[in-house]
Structure 1
């Protein structure tokens, strides 16, 4: 048996409102034969007569009134969907999920978030703190901040929003006496992990006292006095108890990239958050 769909019900509603085949045809932009055929199809599917002729006017039967009433509810739902999608393009409202490593969320985005939300009261921000790269392609997040340009997700829209300088920090200025706080083997490919590996290799007396799997953990370990580590200058320079051990010039710089799915970049709520992140990062 064939299924009844919304397009069928559009013909029923148009005929109910115009009461004439010709009027429904004009409203729908089709010919009268098409209207008559579609009404006959609905009546055949429902096995009920929906309209009866009365002095040249088509009047709904009892069954027709039931179908019309239900179809009007569906019409309202369909219009609501269209309006929601249309407004999503224009109105800065709704949820936006942002993912970044915990260090960036905790020390850069979250401190700036209250002011942003005060001026964008209809936005809801979901923050996903994860040192891994959550997939924007698979919609694990709407926006991602990454310390490298994506190379495997070619459909994504990516723009560089900042450069992050790194230096060596500790709570003591006793540089060579301090052990290193570095990263476990999972993160050995990262530029700042490789830099510390080279630094330890060049100094036979140096060693790693703590290994972590996240930059925010490294920062907390340094602040606890457990040793020295390579940290973003933008964050570490603002912490009074930390010393920059490697000198005034940064020893490493990394790019910060903002990533968004191309299907989402036109949405007003996503554009608003992207613009805010760019302002915060610059």
Structure 2
């Protein structure tokens, strides 16, 4: 008798996360439950599925075979869900959207409210994340992302360019970047280009705060911790901030809306992408930073 689907899910989660604790959290169960279920699965299939190592759980040959089978089952289920979504005749049902926090709060939320008025039959599940979710597995139906290199396997539309500029507090009279303290994302964000900008225009030794994400940058500069590169969309709406330089073209990422090719003809996906895409395009001057005066005079 073949193991049930939940057994495959558990084994795949343990292999993906390298241990029971993270796998259990991912599946919404506790550690002891995961431990007992894994022991029962191994007894049922008559094979050891993982080597218990100090560094974590490493799948055996039998375990890898079960992981591969689980992946194939996930893809089949996802393909079925995409096909069903594409056959719907009315824009109704659940639509999962993923976007970074800054885009959700400063750009998308009013547009999503208007979309809900237009399509009240659609329920929105917004996943706020900087990570690239797997659209093939239906982790999300539509992704809104800032990127100059979107995945080639996805269908999408370039909506705008995301402008970035150097900002400081509006009440700070000394705006010389060489003498200022800085706030900047850490090296792993943007392939280190933020730190290279500081090295070119300021003093790296005066970076007094680093963040591992762009979230919180505006708040840090507005609080007076230091000057920093900020997205114009977020910073220009804050009266406590003022631009020190015009938008820098080296930080101009494309703003994309993406979906899986199998979903491009889904009624609700098409309705969302058409409505939201047109609304975002209308805001290009704001997103690209072309609507504010630069405090460089």
Classify the secondary structure of the residue corresponding to 2:265: coil
Show CA shifts across 1:222-257 (max 9, x none).
Answer: 2222212211212211211110111xx311322111
Tell me the TM-score normalised to structure 1 length: 0.62
Alignment partner of 1:231 is 2:230: yes
Q: Which residue of 2 aligns with 1:280?
A: 279
Show CA shifts across 1:29-73 (max 9, x none).
Answer: xxxxxxxxxxxxxxxxxxxxxxxxxxxxxxxxxxxxxxxxxxxxx
Deviation of residue 111 (structure 1)?
A: 2.7
CA distance in 1, matches of 2:206, 2:274: 43
Matches within 5 A, 1:79-118: 85=84, 88-118=87-117
Matches within 5 A, 1:165-176: 165-172=163-170, 173=172, 174-176=174-176
Tell me the TM-score normalised to structure 2 length: 0.59
Alignment partner of 1:198 is 2:197: yes
Q: Which residue of 2 aligns with 1:254?
A: 253
Q: Which residue of 2 aligns with 1:164?
A: 162
**Which runs of 5 or more structure 2 residues have no equivalent in the other structure?**
1-79, 282-297
CA distance in 1, matches of 2:124, 2:203: 47
CA contact (8 A) 1:196 1:230 kept: no
Show CA shifts across 1:138-186 (max 9, x none).
Answer: 32111111211555x4321122111111111122443234322111232
CA contact (8 A) 2:175 2:244 kept: yes
Q: Which residue of 2 aligns with 1:187?
A: 189
Change in 2 beyond 3 A, CA 1:114/1:281: same
Deviation of residue 201 (structure 1)?
A: 4.2
**Paired residues, what number?**
194
Deviation of residue 262 (structure 1)?
A: 0.7
Question: Larger Cα Rg: Structure 1 or Structure 2?
Answer: 1
Q: Which residue of 1 aligns with 2:180?
A: 178
Classify the secondary structure of the residue corresponding to 2:123: strand
Classify the secondary structure of the residue corresponding to 2:165: strand
Q: Which residue of 1 aligns with 2:143?
A: 144
